[in-house]
Chain A
Amino acid sequence: MSGDRVPLVVLGAGPAGVAAAVAAADAGVPVTLVDLGARAGGQYHRREPAPFTTARAGALHHGLDRFSDDVERLTRAPGFRHVTGAGVWGVQRLADGAVRLATDRPELPLLEADAVVLATGANERVVPFPGWDLPGVLTVGGAQALLKGQGMRPGRAVVVAGAGPLLLPVAAALARVRTHLVAVTDANDPRAWLTGSPRGLRPATVKEGAAHLAALTRRGVRVRPRTAAIAAHGDGRVEEVVLARLARDWTPVPGSERTVPADALATSHGFVPDVGLAVGLGCTLDTTEATAPAVAVDTLQATSVAGVWAAGELTGVGGARVAAHEGTVAGLAAARTLGGTVDDTTLERAVARRRADAPFLRTLARVLTVGDGWTTWLTPDTLLCRCEEVTVGTVDTAIARRDADDLRSIKLTTRCGMGHCQARMCAANVAGLLTARTGRPPADPGTLDRRPVAHPVRLGDL
């Protein structure tokens, strides 16, 4: 079987993918942009569906107008094609160096490209706690998708709790549409942003953060630092959330627990790069952070595999602006290889702009941490793998009995990571638990990110 052959596929239409597509298109390369969404935007610029209309589309977004201009410009580029609603479930490198993609779009089962820019983003990480599988508990990103994509609140009495860069903007957006926020808590101390080198603080980021805090304050909501939702209770759905103050390492302060009524808990604790398709192509991972393996890239965003570039969160979490900077570099570098018109100055400027993000990324790495103490929130019957319903107790037994120090053993003995989500939800937590129990990172970081079939497909599509 062979499919359509194109010069360049950009996989993912978020900030990184669109920046890459624009850069390559400007260099005269026909771009095929492939994405799961019905419209460009990714998760950051998630848009309402076509039957909805808005008078002021950008009002709940940051920087949407400029992004929309870019998308508009792309649609006029010669040879540009936007494949929407396409889940890419398989990747394969052909003998001549081209990349073949398998999609779940019946009219485009296979697509071959001379070069690929991977911009597959990241998944949210939610650390487990008793009751995190109850309906009504959802990710912070899920709450954002409901609000931005559907104009819907996640509940009538909502707790927003967790850590990471999404927490504050989503809590603020919920406050802006007058959601009843029972509590907003950050497991870290947001004041950590203000310590350290001022070079690591972008004025735009500080301004954004201040605007979010002001929106919450106007609605009478205070963000509680060093506080977490450590349990959820309810009969078939969330009815109560247990909040606790935390030590610096996220261990609950004894006696600080407080139970609040809520019908929804939006929670997550950061992001994990979505490296599945990159692993499928044989790209080398950077496993410095065992809980968040990222695609290793050079200063031109080239991966270890010729013809494959990567940009955005899958190369390390840095937010939309950094992702766009990386996308531009990747798009230019890929276009140059494909014979596009890219002058040295343009490329050097793009590389320099990305290099200038380094102090900000150091701040992010310092501020957005997951404390080891989350493992003390667990009980033996807390689910670690939601899909296969594998409990912490089962995994603990597997670690102890087999003296396991690797993810593969845990996967094969407990089925952890073998369900529908293919470890997208549990990989970081399994790696984190193993590290906590054995005192060292797993021997095989990234193993749970191997997904020969990247997401479940019907047999009829194969």
Chain B
Amino acid sequence: MDDLRVGDEDPRGLTRGAPVDVTFDGEPVVAFEGESVAAALLAADVRATRTTRRGGRPRGLFCGIGACHDCLVRVDGSGPVRACLTPVRDGMAVTSHVLGAGGPA
């Protein structure tokens, strides 16, 4: 049960989208079309996707539905976006959200 992606155990008989190439802070991440950035990073064992502005503490996916904004990342040099609401795209470069690299959060 090492893979966090549910396989044949899913009673819905789930089939994922096509595999796509994504990177997180330059490292390749396995992802499938339709997945959120947050889910793809989780499956790649990335739990902390940014550090906080004041305490420099690690943060990651929390509410999973776009309310808390803890999972902010940057994609292809964008401003901060919520990883839980952002679908992966082939060739997407995701970077952790660090203060000073393009505005506060």
Give residues in A with beta carbon < 8 Å to B: 36, 43, 48-60, 87, 123-124, 133-139, 141-147, 149-156, 176-180, 236-238, 386-389, 419-421, 424-425, 456, 458
Contact = CB atoms under 8 A, between A and B. Distances in A.
B13 A54 contact: yes
B78 to A, nearest CB: 10
A155 B6 CA distance: 11
Given A146-B61, A236-B47, 18 more contacts: A51-B34, A52-B16, A52-B34, A145-B65, A145-B84, A146-B39, A147-B6, A149-B36, A150-B35, A151-B10, A151-B12, A151-B16, A152-B35, A153-B6, A237-B58, A389-B55, A419-B69, A421-B68
Nearest to B17: A51
Interface in B42-80: 42-43, 47-49, 52-55, 57-70, 72, 79
Nearest to A419: B69
19 contacts: A51-B17, A51-B34, A52-B14, A52-B15, A54-B13, A54-B14, A60-B12, A123-B67, A138-B61, A138-B62, A141-B65, A142-B63, A144-B64, A145-B65, A151-B6, A151-B10, A151-B12, A153-B6, A389-B53
Which 6 pairs across A and B sit closest by C-beta, in order of nearness?
A: A142-B64, A51-B17, A55-B13, A51-B34, A135-B60, A420-B69
Contact of B12 (A55, A178, A424, A425): A55
Contacts of A150: 35-36, 39
A138 B65 CA distance: 11
A58 B36 CA distance: 21
A199 B18 CA distance: 50
A176 B11 contact: yes
B2 interface: yes
A152 B6 contact: yes
Interface string B81-95: 000110100000000
B27 interface: no
A48 B11 CA distance: 13
How extensive is the interface on chain B, given as a class? 35 or more
Contact of A152 (B33, B39, B70): B39
A56 B5 CA distance: 18
Contacts of A156: 1-2, 4
B11 A60 contact: yes
B4 A155 contact: yes
A51 B65 contact: no
Contact of A43 (B12, B34, B57, B65): B65
Contacts of A149: 36, 39
A228 to B, nearest CB: 18
A203 to B, nearest CB: 24
Contacts of B72: 420
A152 B42 contact: yes
Nearest to A148: B12
Interface string B18-44: 100000000000001111100100110
Contacts of A145: 64-65, 84
B11 A59 contact: yes
A141 B16 CA distance: 22
A60 B12 CA distance: 7
B58 A139 contact: no
